[in-house]
Each structure stands twice: as structure tokens, then as C-alpha cells.
Amino acid sequence: MESQRHKSANTPVFEIPVEVLISLTTGPALVILIANKAIGSLIGEFSQRSEELFRGDRLPIVRFPGSPKVET
């Protein structure tokens, strides 16, 4: 049992250099930033289109009972 503990303590530890980790995370970080910009512009486009959809000139005129008639 003692020999197994001593043997596992001498095994080499695999270390990844910090430069490699930074270079591996740079690509996905840039992709996330670009996707964030694209999603922001897409949301802005959707809000502009929904505003156009619900503008008053495109909605039908609703006639309520007892309201005066309006000529269009």
C-alpha cells in the first residue's frame, strides 16, 4: 500500500500553459461578441417591424354602438 501512494505522488502533472488557454478562448469570445451584436440588431429590426404593424393607419376602424360616424 505504501508503494502505491509513493508511486502516485511521483506521476507527472499535466499543466497547460496560460498562453495556450488564452489563445483557445479568444476565438469563442470573439464569436460571442459578434453574435451579441447580430442579435441586438435583429431585436431592433423586430421591434421596428412590430411598430409598423401596429401603426394606427393600418388597423381597422372599430365602430362602437352609440359613437358618432366618422367619414374616412
- Domain assignment of residue 72, yes or no: no
- Domain assignment of residue 39, yes or no: yes
Rounded to an integer, what is the distance from CA 28 to the centroid of its chain? Answer: 13
DSSP reduced 3-state for 59: coil
pLDDT of residue 12: 72
Q: Rounded CA gap, 44 and 49, in Å?
A: 9
Q: pLDDT tens track of the chain, all 72 residues?
A: 445 555 556 677 888 899 999 999 999 999 999 999 999 999 999 998 888 777 766 667 778 887 676 665
pTM of the model: 0.50
Number of domains in the chain: 1
- Domain assignment of residue 54, yes or no: yes
Amino acid, res. 58: R
pLDDT of residue 70: 63
pLDDT of residue 33: 97
- Domain assignment of residue 3, yes or no: no
DSSP, residue by residue, 9-58: HTSPP----HHHHHHHHHHHHHHHHHHHHHHHHHHHHHHHHHHHHT-GGG
- What is the domain range of residue 33? 29-58
